[in-house]
Amino acid sequence: MHLAYPAVLAVLLFCVGLYGVLARRNAILVLMSVELMLNAVNLNLVAFDVWLRDALHAGQALTLFTIAIAAAEIGIGLAIVLAVYRNRGTSAVDDLRDTAERPDDGGGGGGDSEGAAAEPDQPDRPAEGKASQKAEATA
């Protein structure tokens, strides 16, 4: 079998997953897209392992590890998504914009407000777990 077939399939799957990560709103759909990307990598690993006839079967071993890590990742990711959903009532990725600079502080171009702009972000939020806010950025 031509090596190009699994390689191209992996590339296309990866890019589909990429599109999903960038375009989907729901965090769980984003996680699914991440799974697609991981699987694309797995396919590559398997294909090259077979092609190279690796005596140690490094490709297949790494594929197994990747699958295990993906499972762990999906567990953690879902826990984070659930925590966010409990706190915010939404799991839409583009609603979570706490790291943005809000238009009322500093957008007006007052020369002396730059220093203070970063500060008031946190305190006037409703009382929420800071840890989950940080975590949702990584989800």
Residues 6+ apart with CB under 8 A from 72: none
In the complex with other proteins, the residue whose CB is nearer, 67 or 116, is 67
**Residues 74-113 as x/- pattern, contact with other proteins by CB under 8 A:** xxx-xxxxxx-xxx-x-xxxx-xxxxxx----xx-x-x--
Q: What string of H, E and C letters represents the secondary structure of 34-92?
A: HHHHHHHHHHHHHHHHHHHCCCCCHHHHHHHHHHHHHHHHHHHHHHHHHHHHHHHCCCE
Q: Whole-number minimum distance, CB 120 to other proteins, in Å?
A: 15
Q: Which is nearer to other proteins, 56 or 119 (CB)?
A: 56
Residues 1-20 touching other proteins, rule: CB under 8 A, are: 1-9, 11-20
Instruction: Specify whether the CB–CB gap between 132 and 90 falls below 8 A.
Output: no
DSSP class of residue 95 equals: G
Minimum distance from CB of 98 to other proteins (Å)?
Answer: 6
- Based on CB atoms, which residue is closest to other proteins, 116 or 137? 137
One character per residue 18-47, x = contact with other proteins (rule: CB under 8 A): xxxxxxxxxxxx-xxx-xx--x--xx--xx
Its sign, for the CA torsion 136, 92, 82, 66, is negative
Tell whether residue 52 is a contact of other proteins (CB under 8 A).
Answer: yes
| Residue 49 interacting with other proteins (CB under 8 A) | yes
CB of 81 to other proteins, least distance (A): 6
Contact 38, 5 (CB under 8 A): no
